[in-house]
Structure 1
Amino acid sequence: MASDDEKHADTEYLTTLERGLSVLRAFGRENPQMTLSEVAEVTGLSPAAARRCLNTLVKLGYVAKYHRNFLLRPEVMSFASAYLDSMSLGEIVRPHLQAVRDETGDSSSLAVLSGSDILYLVHVSTNRMVRLAAGIGTRFPAYATSLGRAMLAFEADDVRNGYLDTGEFASLTEHTVTSRAELEQVLMQVRRDGYSAVKDELDYGLISIAVPILDESGRSMAAINCSTSTSRVGLDELVRTRLPVLQNATRHIQAALRRQPFLVRSVHPA
């Protein structure tokens, strides 16, 4: 993401567009509806700027107003639909994730790094109840997930170090690794092993294993995982039984993505 100095120096940069997008991103699970003052506080915008953005988004159909509260409308889904339709990522990846699901009985996903989070782009679920539901567009903090660690371990050194230097690592459970030094050691081990396995760190009762999808330079552009309940499988068995399945799916997905350069540039721009 561009720094403030870079934004000011770029005459092609539209601050008004940035403000409007920040308003859309302000809504989420914790704040599905907000007043004008709450939107201004979350986005850091002045009340006047937040009001102009909200009124514009209301007229465009992306935001609704009910009394004093603003909330998103379904029209915002058109942005995600446009990406999925134009990139055809699901068509390429989903058959391989379904094969993983069918062989292991676990849910399986593909995610990319997005800021300090992982962002799910393709997800294949099971009928089993899980504590944390996931789907396309779901975000989780990267440091506490197998997907995030698999990608960070194979990122460029400056990207990985920047994440470790600036990240805020909260304890999501008593098992969550939150020390920068310890996380760095964990990522070094993931790079040596070629996979990441996480148990009870994102939430109690969750266990997962992930493998990175690499570009031709050996840098991670995405990752896929298996995720299930600790009541079904232990860590050692997870690695023994799921890792070969994931590695096989990764080879197929990696080859398919490399045949689509525009898609690679989309999920992991240089």
Structure 2
Amino acid sequence: MALIKSAVNKEVGALPTVADENEPIQAHAKEGMGGLAKGLAIIEAFGASTPRMTVSDAAQLAGLSRPAARRCLLTLVELGYLAHDGKFFTPLPRMLRLGGAYFSTSSLPQIAQPLLASARDKLQESVSLAVLDEGYAVFVARAEAVRIVSTGVKLGGRLPAYCSATGRVLLSDLPEQQVREHLESVPMKRLTDRTVANLNGVLKAIRRAAEEGYAISDEELEIGMSAMAVPVRNRSGQIEAALSVSVFSGRVSIETLRDNFLPVLREMAERLQRSL
């Protein structure tokens, strides 16, 4: 979102003549479309906490003027991406096509899916894979356990990195100064009375994740829900993703997560690493 807002705020210059297709793209960065950037900023403003928006909401969240936000929203309605009831704009199923472009072309979710399913079958709990995106853990693959009430986030969902097990694992690979700068730039809120939402406490949790090779979030995101995550490294040894399991705290204890779930997650992470 930050990158898109930056693009929205830059004035798009006059377009030069059509470039030779063999010339580097960098030479023609000014050919960017401001209107497209504004539309994408509106799309990214929708989320779990903003499932519907008014024009004013969209303008504020996307950093646009009200007229620009209104034009973008109405265009998305016309194209079938949003519904409009006269006041609120709500995403329609067509919106899934945008994320589908990543999921259908990226090898990581495709390679991970059978391993996630194997881990789910062994643990009888939902297992997910996430990557880091601008301070959020974004879930790119998931094997859902069949239960009346599901746990965790859905495919494409985003969790704040500072208070999620997945996010802390992903942040643990970055230089501490970079992590510190990120944490100082985001509003850390206490989502429950167990949430660690201060700089020193979160840094300590991230260091622990780096040292121990896993992280646990114990009812920090939501009371009654816990999660554990382990890193998935690429061939260069860098953390590329995080493999996680989410459980109901009343059914699975933290001790069970460490003793029984951690070995399974680590086994699947190692198998996924060998495939990258």
Shorter-chain TM-score bucket reads 0.7 to 0.9
Match of 1:128 in 2: 147
Match of 2:197 in 1: 178
Question: Where does structure 2 lack aligned partners over 5 or more consecutive residues?
Answer: 13-28
Deviation at 1:73? 2.3
The one-character-per-residue Cα deviations of 1:171-224 (angstroms, maximum 9, x if unpaired) are: 111111111011111111111111112211111121221111122333221100
Match of 2:172 in 1: 153
Match of 1:246 in 2: 265
Q: Distance in 2 between matches of 1:254 and 1:139?
A: 23
2:82 maps to 1:63: yes
Q: What's the TM-score, normalizing by structure 1?
A: 0.85
Match of 2:209 in 1: 190
Q: Is the 8 A contact 2:216 2:226 kept in 1?
A: yes
Q: Secondary structure at the match of 1:34?
A: coil
Q: Distance in 1 between matches of 2:217 and 2:87?
A: 43
Counting aligned pairs with the same residue, the percent is: 32
Match of 2:25 in 1: none
Q: Which amino acid aligns with 2:163?
A: A
Q: Distance in 2 between matches of 1:76 and 1:70?
A: 13
Question: Where does structure 1 lack aligned partners over 5 or more consecutive residues?
Answer: 258-270
- Alignment RMSD, CA only? 2.4
Q: Secondary structure at the match of 2:64?
A: coil
Bigger drift between 89-98 and 3-12 goes to: 3-12
CA separation of 1:30 and 1:191: change in aligned 2, threshold 3 A: closer
Bigger drift between 106-115 and 30-39 goes to: 30-39
Q: Distance in 1 between matches of 2:50 and 2:209?
A: 35
Match of 2:125 in 1: 106
Q: Secondary structure at the match of 1:202?
A: coil
Deviation at 1:158? 4.8
Match of 1:268 in 2: none
Deviation at 1:88? 4.5
Match of 2:98 in 1: 79
Give the one of 238, 247, 260 matched to 1:228.
Answer: 247
Match of 1:37 in 2: 56
Match of 1:200 in 2: 219
The one-character-per-residue Cα deviations of 1:58-87 (angstroms, maximum 9, x if unpaired) are: 332222333343322221111122221222
Q: Is the 8 A contact 1:111 1:224 kept in 2?
A: yes
Q: Secondary structure at the match of 2:275?
A: helix
2:99 maps to 1:91: no
Q: Which amino acid aligns with 1:46?
A: S
Deviation at 1:14? 3.0
Q: Is the 8 A contact 2:166 2:230 kept in 1?
A: yes
Q: What's the TM-score, normalizing by structure 2?
A: 0.83
Q: Secondary structure at the match of 1:33?
A: coil
Q: Secondary structure at the match of 2:220?
A: coil
Q: Which amino acid aligns with 2:219?
A: D
Q: Distance in 1 between matches of 2:177 and 2:35?
A: 30
Q: Which amino acid aligns with 2:168?
A: R
Q: Which amino acid aligns with 1:143?
A: Y
Deviation at 1:43? 2.3
CA separation of 1:129 and 1:115: change in aligned 2, threshold 3 A: farther
